[in-house]
Every structure is written in C-alpha cells, then in structure tokens.
Amino acid sequence: MSGQTGSTAATAAVEGRGVRFSYPAKRSARRRGGPVPPALAGVDFQVAAGEIFGFLGPNGGGKTTLFRILATLARPESGTVRVFGADLATQAREVRRRLGVVFQSPSLDLQLTVRENLVHQGHLHGLAGRDLAARIADGLERFGLTERVDQRTAELSGGLRRRVEIAKALLHAPRLLLLDEPSTGLDPGARHDLWETLESLRSQGVTVLLTTHFMEEGDRCDRLVLLSRGTIVAEGTPAALKEEIGGDVITLTGRDPQALARDLAALHPELAPVVQDGAVRLERERGHELAARLAEALPGRIESVTVARPSLEDVFLRRTGHRLFDEGEEAP
Amino acid sequence: MTGLAAATLWRRELTRFFRQPSRIAGAVGTPLIFWLLLGSGLSGSFRLPGGPAGLSYFQYFFPGTIVLVLLFAAIFSNISVIEDRHQGFLQGVLVAPVSRSTLVAGKVLGGATLAWIQGVVFLALAPLSGVHLTAGSALAAVGILAVLALSLTALGFAFAWKLDSVQGFHAIMNVVLMPMWLLSGAFFPVSGAPFWLGALMRLNPLTYGVAALRGVLYGPATAPGLPGPAVSLAVTLAMGLAAFAAGLLATRGGRVD
C-alpha cells in the first residue's frame, strides 16, 4: 500500500487544484430563484503514480463530473488539472495519449466483432500493422477473450463486454487508467476478476483512478477521497480514515431514539450519542462491553444493538452527517 | 495518424451499413417507388416549359429521384451520429487523441460514400428511363453524385450533431432537407413555377446540383431558366464545402458529452 509520502508533486500522476464545475441551471430551478449548487465546488486532490486511487461518494456527489473532467470530456469552470504534468486545458491531446478510459456506459460498437472494435480503437490511437495485431493478441489473451474474437460484442455477456472495454482502454498502453463505476452491473465473480486486473496493472506501474459508490471497493483502493455535494470531505488510506473513528461503532434502536439519546447522554455524557436515521450512534472502544452495560442500564428501552468495526460508510457519516445513499440525485 | 483515424471511422460506417440490409431497402426502395408511381402517373400530363419536346416525366424525374436516393442515404447514415452518442461509441472517440475535424471527415466521408454508392446503383437504372448513357456522361454523373452526396451528408451531420433524438432529427430533416429537395427542380421545373416559387428555387443551392445532373444526362436544354453546367457545378461544389464547414463548426461548440 502506497502511503501519503508517495504523493509528492514530482511523482503525481494526476493533480487537481481548485477544480470547480457547475451544470447549466435548469429552467425550473431558475424560476424558483434558488442558486444552483456547483457539481464541484473547487476540489484539490493528488494521485501518486502507480497507486489505485478512488473517488468514493453517493450519486450526485460530484465523482462522475470529476471523471468527465479527467477524461477530457468536460472543462472545469476554474481550477487546473494536470495529468503527468500536462495541463488538461491546453494539452488535452497529450493527456489523451496517456489516458485509457473505461466508461460506465459501454463504448463498444455492438454491431462489430471484438476484433473490429479493437482494430478501430488501435487506429484511433495511431496504432497499425504488426504492432497493433500483437497488442490485440496480447489483450485478448490477457482477458481470456481469444475465443470470442470474431463474435459480435452484442452477443457477449455484461462481464465479457466489460473485459473487452478494458482491453480496448489498455490497447495503447496508457499510463493512467480511468474507470467510472467499473463494478456496476457485474456479478461477484466478474468483480473479483476486475480487481485482480486492476491490481496487476498497478504492479506494472499503471496508475488506476476509479469512481465508485461501493464501500467495499473504496476499501481496496490504496488511497481515496470521499466526495459529498461537490466537495472532498475526507482523504487518505482506507485504514487511516477508519482509524479516526477509533474503536467500534455501536448502533442502538428503540421506540423513541431522541429520548433514548437524551437518557444515554444523561447517564454517560462522554459517549456523545448522536441520532441518525432513526437510530442512536456511538463510537467507542471495546464496543461489545459497553453495549451489554447499556442494555442493562436502560432495560426495555433498547430494541436492538449492533456493534461493528468502523467502515468507510461510518467515516462518511461522521464527516457529512448523512449516509452514503441519502444524498439527492442530481444531473449526472 | 490523422488519416488513419479518419479512415477507420470511414471504414466503420461501411461495415455497419452492409450488416443492415434493411437500410439499403429504405434508401433505394422508397425513391424507386416514388419514381415508378409518380413517373407513370404524371407522364401523360407533363410537358417541360421551355424545354425540348419528347422528354417524358419518367425521364425528367429520374435525376431528381437519384438526388432523393442521396438525400435518404444521407439522413439514414447521420442517424448513426445520434446512435453513436446514445450507445456510447462516440465517447470513446472523443477521448482518443483525434481532432474534431478528423472525426467529422471520417463520419461524413463514410456516410457520403454510402450515399454515393446507392446513387450510382440507381444511376444504373438509367436505360429504364430511356436515357442512353455514354462513358462520358456516366462518368460526369458519377462525379456530380459524389459532390452532392458529400454536401447532403455534411449538412445532415451538422444537424445530427446538435440533436439528441432520432425523432427530432427526422422532424428537422422533414422541414429542412425535404423542402430543399422539393424546391430543387427535382420534382417540377423552375421554368413552370410561379415567380415567388421560382425565386425560392433559384436561391436553393441544391437546384444547381440537380440541374447539373440533368444537364449531364439529357443535355443543358433540359434545365431551362437556369445557368449553364459550369455555374451549376461551381455552386454545387461551393455548397459541398459550405456544408462540410458547417459540420466542422457544429462540433466546435461547447458540447462535448
């Protein structure tokens, strides 16, 4: 796992400074007169070369907007993004040469075969002849697609199509691979294969940057940022982020959570209980011992007690005050 | 490298076309039916004002029908611009190190090639309309068809790039390209039209393409009231360049999604 020490400016694969982006206001929003919040409210981030870096957040948090900016498909209103030192605003072509992109929605031509898709992609990147043929053969082999090469991509399963997408994105040997929600729509087996691929790419020095709303996927990143409502609410390794919670997360439910929290605070002010989503939440070391004591101290008031190791979801909750999936949807 | 990228996009248009035989039927079949029905129905009552006697409506309408074939082919092929956007293929092209002009060149040349092939196939029906093609006139017609195919495809592309739905594109094509064709002298001659209509027809750049084609097939006397072949050809070429520029311009704007 590469730590924060690796992310100095000299080795940064991607560096964003004050990246801000707003979608044009919808007519209905303008009529209401309310200001439209920016999709990205000036974010700073740095991705070290050779790490797997995640943008974790709910839909509408801004991660897809950030992905589109990094993929050179959208221009930030203000701020700068550099990819291996090349400025996205002025050197988009340079950036595109080094960039492999896997979109959430497929970018394959379903009427064409696997090989035809790869050949067109190679040509778009200036590859041809024997070099291209060798790269295609390698890619097919690597992703177990050799036998599918003359099948139309429309006939392939979702998992196989995603493999073709990744083979396509890697054909020109990019130094940075960008993936938007790569696990969406994949069964657990295909998801497992995907992560093996990403880890093997990392071992070859490829920088991997992905967006996700799955906590488990955030856990597998070397480093990640949590995005909420267009701002970065936390940044670090998954372990470091979870350490800030300290101990366990205890969740209590009861008929009247507000009263339960009040009584708990009266008994143990140091616990600082918080009501969230109709449950009382505490963070405490050796949570199971405390849970048993609380159940005795407030007989009949507690309906259920859960003690868990903190997850990235808890980090998100602590930083934003709301859960990962509660944020309203906005324009993609 | 730019050439390779444009060539691969061109090639893709052709591959996709030949995998959808229904497209051929649509682009050639409809004009063929128009030509047979309207040609048969109107032949008895048609006389070209100011033109040579003995030119049947079948014959008069034939070049117009070929232009209709090009028009339909251009519309059909540009639907793929919208489909590429919806089905995601376009986003992959947009993140490749390829300029917008390369993208326009590949797509438009691909569509124009298909339109041109269909037009040439239809041209081979010329003996049925009672016209005798010489090697020279056939070659000239094939050249004019190429320029017209490019113009119409590029024009369709400029609209297709800006539109989100196939339905919307069809609607726009019905109020832009179809009237352009109706007022091009393809269907009825400038010389017999009322003054206001004739003026509109003379403003329509497509009129000159149709006149050039008709002139090549039947002689310049069959385009009464219009300038000679040199001017017609020049206007047609200029229209092609302008349409291509419009296609390029369409991709310049802020729209990147």
When mean pLDDT is compared across A94-98, A118-122, B146-150, B250-254, the lowest value belongs to B250-254
Contact residues, A window 77-106, toward B, CB-based 8 Å cutoff? 93, 96-97, 99, 101, 103, 105-106
What is the average pLDDT score of chain B?
A: 87
In this prediction, residues A11-19 reach a mean pLDDT of 88
pLDDT at A328: 44
When CB atoms are compared, the residue of A105, A109, A126 closest to B12 is A109
Compute φ and ψ for A321, nearest 5 degrees.
Answer: 80, 5
Q: Give the highest mean pLDDT range of A158-167, A259-268, A304-313.
A: A158-167
Instruction: Answer yes or no: is pLDDT of A152 > 70.
Output: yes
d(CA A213, CA A183): 10
Tell me which DSSP letter residue A24 carries. Answer: P
Instruction: Answer yes or no: is pLDDT of A223 > 90.
Output: yes
SS3 A212: strand
Q: Is A31 near chain B, with CB under 8 Å?
A: no
Instruction: Answer yes or no: is pLDDT of B66 > 70.
Output: yes
Name every residue whose Cβ is closer than 8 Å to that of residue B31 and which is 6 or more positions away in sequence.
B65, B66, B68, B69, B72, B122
Decide: B62 and B131 in contact? Cβ < 8 Å. yes
Give the up-direction half-sphere exposure of residue A292: CA atoms within 13 A in the CB hemisphere. Answer: 3
Say whether B92 and A126 touch across the interface (CB within 8 A): no
d(CA A99, CA A68): 12
The predicted-structure confidence for B180-217, as pLDDT tens digits, reads as follows 999 998 888 888 888 899 999 999 999 999 999 988 88
Say whether A101 and B95 touch across the interface (CB within 8 A): yes
How far, in Å, are A67, A166, B8 from residue A174 at the CA level?
A: 16, 11, 21
Q: Which of A120, A179, A180 to mutate to test the interface with B (most CBs of B within 10 A)?
A: A120
Instruction: Answer yes or no: is pLDDT of B238 > 90.
Output: yes
pLDDT at A9: 46
Q: Which of B10, B16, B79, B95 to mutate to test the interface with A (most CBs of A within 10 A)?
A: B95
Locate the DSSP E strands across A200-327.
207-212, 223-228, 231-236, 248-253, 274-276, 279-284, 304-308
d(CA B257, CA B254): 9
Decide: B172 and B78 in contact? Cβ < 8 Å. no
pTM of the model: 0.82
Say whether A73 and B4 touch across the interface (CB within 8 A): no
CA–CA min distance B21, chain A (Å): 13
d(CA B148, CA A258): 75
In this prediction, residues A87-115 reach a mean pLDDT of 91
What is the average pLDDT score of chain A?
A: 85
When mean pLDDT is compared across A224-238, A274-288, B87-101, the lowest value belongs to A274-288
Instruction: Answer yes or no: is pLDDT of A28 > 60.
Output: no
Percent of chain A at pLDDT exceeding 90: 40
In this prediction, residues A243-252 reach a mean pLDDT of 81
DSSP letter string over chain B?
Answer: -HHHHHHHHHHHHHHHHHT-HHHHIIIIIHHHHHHHHHHHHHHTT---TTS-TT--HHHHHHHHHHHHHHHHHHHHHHHHHHHHHHHSHHHHHHTSS--HHHHHHHHHHHHHHHHHHHHHHHHTTGGGGT----HHHHHHHHHHHHHHHHHHHHHHHHHHHH-S-HHHHHHHHHHHHHHHHHTTTSSS-GGGS-HHHHHHHHH-HHHHHHHHHHHHHH-GGGSTTS--HHHHHHHHHHHHHHHHHHHHHHHHSS---
In this prediction, residues A4-8 reach a mean pLDDT of 42
Q: How many Cβ atoms are within 10 Å of A230's Cβ, its own excluded? A: 24
Contacts of B16 in chain A (CB under 8 A): 109, 111-112
pLDDT at A6: 41
- Provide the pLDDT confidence category of residue B97 given band limits of 50, 70 and 90: very high
Q: Mark residue A272 as left, alpha or beta (left: phi above 0; alpha: psi -120 to 50; beta: remaining).
A: left
Instruction: Answer yes or no: is pLDDT of B10 > 90.
Output: yes
CA–CA min distance B104, chain A (Å): 13
Q: Is A47 near chain B, with CB under 8 Å?
A: no
The predicted-structure confidence for B146-162, as pLDDT tens digits, reads as follows 999 999 999 999 999 98
Say what angle helices B166-182 and B57-87 make with each other, to 10 degrees. 160
Name every residue whose Cβ is closer than 8 Å to that of residue A155 and which is 6 or more positions away in sequence.
none
Element housing A134 (H / E): helix A129-142
- Provide the pLDDT confidence category of residue A32 given band limits of 50, 70 and 90: low
pLDDT at A33: 60
- Provide the pLDDT confidence category of residue A69 given band limits of 50, 70 and 90: very high
- Provide the pLDDT confidence category of residue A124 given band limits of 50, 70 and 90: very high
CA-based nearest residue in chain A for residue B257: A73
CA–CA min distance B114, chain A (Å): 17
pLDDT at B9: 94
pLDDT at A8: 44
How far, in Å, are A78, A266, B192 from residue A280 at the CA level?
A: 41, 14, 87
What is the count of residue pairs from A and B with beta carbons less than 8 Å apart?
77
**Which of these, A142, A141, A146, lies nearest to A114 by C-alpha position?**
A146
Contacts of B19 in chain A (CB under 8 A): 111
d(CA A22, CA B255): 14
d(CA B223, CA A118): 50
